[in-house]
Amino acid sequence: MSNFKNYRIGFYGVEASFSHEALLKYFGNEVDTLSCAEFKDVFDALNDDHIKYGVVPIENSSTGGILEVYDLMRDYGFYIVGEKCIKINHNLLGIKGTKIDDIDEVYSHSQAFLQSKKFLIEHQDWKLIPYFSTARSAKYISEVKLKNKACIASEKAGELYELDMIKSNINYNKNNYTRFIVIGKEEIDCENKDKISIVFTLDHKVGTLFNILSYFKENNLNLIKIESRPIVDKPWQYFFYVDFNGNFMNEDTKIAMEGIKNNCKYFRMLGNYKSDF
């Protein structure tokens, strides 16, 4: 993408969070940034023009989609303009001198608990306390300065907040990646766009989803992911979020999109952008 020095970029979490790492790897180190405590805060900041782009996680290779972010993408009507995949290594951290036998409370984001569940099963006497983010958990542990409290966070967060590494790489999947999306109010032009994200709804009838998916096969488009989210007040009906390889300027992609739009109750393009994997 182009030069971003004059833009402010929002992200979920605090400095040394995985979202912050994704932001720096995508935009570089010289951009102005805005830390946001909640996913929705990133979307609100973009909606109110406090930032030009936002960076939020949308799925993890171990635990799947982050459903709140899917819902926010639909509710706010923003576009995915890019993505960055970050390898996630979770570590058990505590203040200087903390030993594993000292611990009875562990703070972290709920996703980190899920991704570290095999390690945590071995310590069922610990109280797991969900917190805003992994990096904010590290910040909190550095402030309370109690050896009975630990956190699960990145090595960078441990370095920033001067915490000891009690146990490294506790996530059960050693190829644990999180995909972060870059969101904006408008689509942007960039070279080599090769990934498209869409969302749609269908009539609650036999064969409707099968018919939609046939457009991908007929036009030689590789379907990467499909995620469903319930429609409020319409039991057993869903929004379908789909990622696939394609460029909207290609004829096969245009034909497929036209067919899909014509057979959906609701359709929206979420973005055509360059994939990171």
What are 75-124's pLDDT values in tens digits?
999 999 999 999 999 999 999 999 999 999 999 999 999 999 999 999 99
Q: How far apart are CA 164 and CA 180, in angstroms?
A: 28
Task: Out of 130-144, 182-196, 213-227, pick the least confident.
Answer: 182-196
Which of these is catalytic: 113, 180, 200, 244? 180
Q: How far apart are CA 149 and CA 268, in angstroms?
A: 45
Which of these is catalytic: 33, 98, 134, 178? 178
Question: Of 149, 156, 153, whose CA–CA distance to 128 is shortest?
Answer: 149
Q: Spell out the domains of the chain, with CATH numbers in brackets.
A: 8-88+176-184 (3.40.190.10), 91-167 (3.40.190.10), 195-270 (3.30.70.260)
190-199 average pLDDT score? 90
The fraction of the chain above a pLDDT of 70, given in percent, is: 98
Decide: helix, strand or coil at residue 70. helix
Q: 178 an active-site residue? A: yes
Q: How far apart are CA 269 and CA 211, in angstroms?
A: 19
From residue 174, alpha-carbon distances to 87, 88, 168, 181, 232 in Å are: 9, 9, 11, 22, 37
Q: 240 an active-site residue? A: no
Q: Kindly tell me if the per-residue pLDDT of 267 is higher than 80.
A: yes
Confidence class of residue 188 from pLDDT cuts 50, 70 and 90? confident
Burial class (CB in 10 A: 0-12, 13-18, 19+), 97: exposed
171-193 average pLDDT score? 91
* DSSP element (H, E) containing 208: helix 208-218
Q: Kindly tell me if the per-residue pLDDT of 3 is higher than 70.
A: no
Confidence class of residue 158 from pLDDT cuts 50, 70 and 90? very high
Residue 255 pLDDT: 96
pTM of the entire predicted model: 0.90
